[in-house]
């Protein structure tokens, strides 16, 4: 079965970058990205650039440009977010049916989240990001809510009938029960929504001697501030409470934080688990996915997901994390 990315040949990639005015030297390195195709492209007598070729039919042009505009707003405030390069005031380009953007290469290593000073440092920048994000909402990008991440996911799984028969009923029943609980929790909240990074896990923060910088705003959306904090937490409750306290110590220097949002951490984790499984299923016709995720859609995978979601049911009943 053919896939739209089948036409994204090395020659097309290099020609696309040259069409924007860069002189390529022929070197190319594929980077760790599956939703889009992201590559480091070597240039003649210049530093390489990073080329992101957007997955066809995923985003509208308007939604992509809102991502770019938000990144550029942050960069203009000297917040370390890697923003797209512009050519003649344009940041979104098209070549032979593929939309793409170019970014400066900025390396780094994974942040050391066991270092509390590093967490406080990250928190300061997240506070600054959210201070800008709170100034106006996205218009063309999705909201982070139970409907889009949760209910739409399981409705799609039901319609496609792809789950192993021995696990389908139990998995879907667990998802529905969790989503009803999460609906109730969200309904009890009256929280402000702002423009988020949206996928602020440690892999999207690169660390150098100058501190952190944030990459890959591809999932930016409107939602509660805690979404950009909880994925940086790990360990038991005491460890996560300490980590969150350090993040918020830096965050609150630049942006208020409503402590009621702590109640949303486990609901958001549950939504991410459900959405991630559905994302893998939706992309299974892309040849890159079976190669990268060979364990997906096996009986063992769904059995493990059932166990994880059963644990999430228990965690939803616990009080929220405390902050020191």
Active-site annotation holder among 67, 145, 216, 218: 216
Number of H helices, E strands in the chain: 11, 9
Please give the structure tokens belonging to residue 110: 């994974």
199 among known catalytic residues: yes
Of 42, 47, 45, 52, nearest in space to 18 by CA: 42
Q: How many CB atoms lie within 10 A of CB 238?
A: 11
What is d(CA 226, CA 17) in angstroms, rounded to the nearest whole number? Answer: 37
What is d(CA 133, CA 268) in angstroms, rounded to the nearest whole number? Answer: 20
Of 263, 229, 233, nearest in space to 248 by CA: 229
Of 243, 255, 262, 242, nearest in space to 315 by CA: 262
Of 128, 126, 101, nearest in space to 111 by CA: 126
Q: Which residues pair with 320 in a beta bridge?
A: none
Would the CA dihedral through 185, 191, 197, 201 be positive or negative?
negative
Please report, in angstroms and rounded to a whole number, the separation of the first and last CA atoms in the chain: 54
Q: How many CB atoms lie within 10 A of CB 252?
A: 13
Q: How many residues does the chain have?
A: 324
* H/E element, 204: none
What is d(CA 248, CA 216) in angstroms, rounded to the nearest whole number? Answer: 22
216 among known catalytic residues: yes
Active-site annotation holder among 199, 228, 236, 285: 199
Which residue numbers are catalytic? 199, 216
């Amino acid at each position: 079965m053919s896939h739209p990315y089948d036409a994204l040949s090395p020659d097309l990639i290099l020609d696309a970058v040259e069409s924007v005015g860069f002189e390529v030297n022929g070197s190319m390195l594929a980077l760790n990205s599956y939703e889009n195709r992201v590559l480091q492209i070597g240039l003649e007598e210049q530093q390489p650039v990073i080329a992101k070729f957007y997955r066809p039919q995923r985003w509208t042009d308007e939604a992509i440009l809102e991502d770019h505009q938000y990144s550029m707003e942050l960069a203009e405030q000297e917040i370390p977010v890697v923003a797209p390069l512009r050519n003649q005031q344009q940041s979104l380009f098209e070549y032979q049916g593929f939309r793409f953007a170019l970014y400066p290469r900025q390396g780094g290593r994974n942040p050391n989240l066991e270092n509390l000073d590093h967490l406080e440092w990250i928190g300061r920048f997240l506070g600054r990001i959210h201070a800008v994000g709170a100034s106006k909402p996205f218009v063309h990008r999705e909201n982070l809510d139970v409907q889009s991440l949760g209910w739409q996911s399981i409705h799609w799984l039901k319609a496609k009938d792809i789950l192993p028969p021995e696990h389908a009923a139990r998995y879907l029943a667990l998802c529905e029960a969790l989503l009803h609980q999460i609906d109730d929790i969200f309904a009890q909240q009256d929280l402000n929504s702002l423009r988020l990074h949206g996928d602020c896990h440690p892999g999207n923060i690169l660390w150098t001697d100058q501190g952190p910088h944030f990459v890959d705003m591809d999932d930016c959306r409107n939602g509660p501030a805690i979404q950009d904090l909880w994925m940086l937490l790990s360990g038991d409750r005491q460890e996560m409470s300490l980590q969150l306290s350090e993040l918020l110590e830096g965050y609150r220097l630049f942006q208020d934080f409503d402590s009621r949002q702590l109640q949303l951490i486990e609901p958001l984790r549950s939504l991410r688990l459900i959405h991630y499984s559905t994302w893998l299923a939706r992309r299974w016709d892309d040849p890159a996915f079976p190669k990268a995720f060979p364990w997906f859609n096996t009986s063992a995978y769904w059995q493990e997901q059932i166990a994880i979601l059963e644990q999430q049911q228990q965690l939803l009943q616990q009080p929220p994390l405390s902050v020191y």
